[in-house]
C-alpha cells in the first residue's frame, strides 16, 4: 500500500505505479488492494492512459487526471 487518504468516516487506498501494462506488475500492484477486507474505495494511479479502468472494483486512474481533479 503506497498511501491511505482519510477524512472523518471516509477512507481511500492508493497504489502508485508508472505502468501496469505488464501482467506481473499489474498483479503485484493489485495484490495489496485486493487483500484489504473493507469496502472503502481502492485506486491504482498510473501513467497509463485509458488502458484499464477497473479491476474487480479497484479503479485505475491516470495520475495527471487525479492530480488535476477538483472534487
> What digits encode the pLDDT tens for the residues 9-23?
999 999 999 999 999
pTM over 0.85: yes
The cell numbers describing 15, all together, are 497504489
Tell me, what's the pLDDT at 54? 85
The cell numbers describing 2, all together, are 503506497
Q: How many angstroms separate the Cα of 39 from the Cα of each of 5, 11, 24, 35, 44?
A: 14, 9, 25, 11, 15
pLDDT in tens, 26-59: 999 999 999 999 999 999 999 998 677 888 899 9
Which has more confidence, 4 or 52?
4
> Is the pLDDT confidence value at 71 over 80?
no
Tell me, what's the pLDDT at 1? 85
Amino acid at each position: 500500500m503506497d498511501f491511505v487518504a482519510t477524512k472523518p468516516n471516509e477512507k481511500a487506498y492508493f497504489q502508485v505505479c508508472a505502468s501496469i501494462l505488464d501482467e506481473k506488475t499489474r498483479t503485484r500492484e493489485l495484490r495489496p488492494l485486493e487483500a484489504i477486507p473493507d469496502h472503502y474505495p481502492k485506486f491504482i494511479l498510473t501513467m497509463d492512459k485509458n488502458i484499464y479502468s477497473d479491476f474487480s472494483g479497484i479503479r485505475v486512474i491516470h495520475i495527471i487526471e487525479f492530480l488535476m481533479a477538483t472534487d
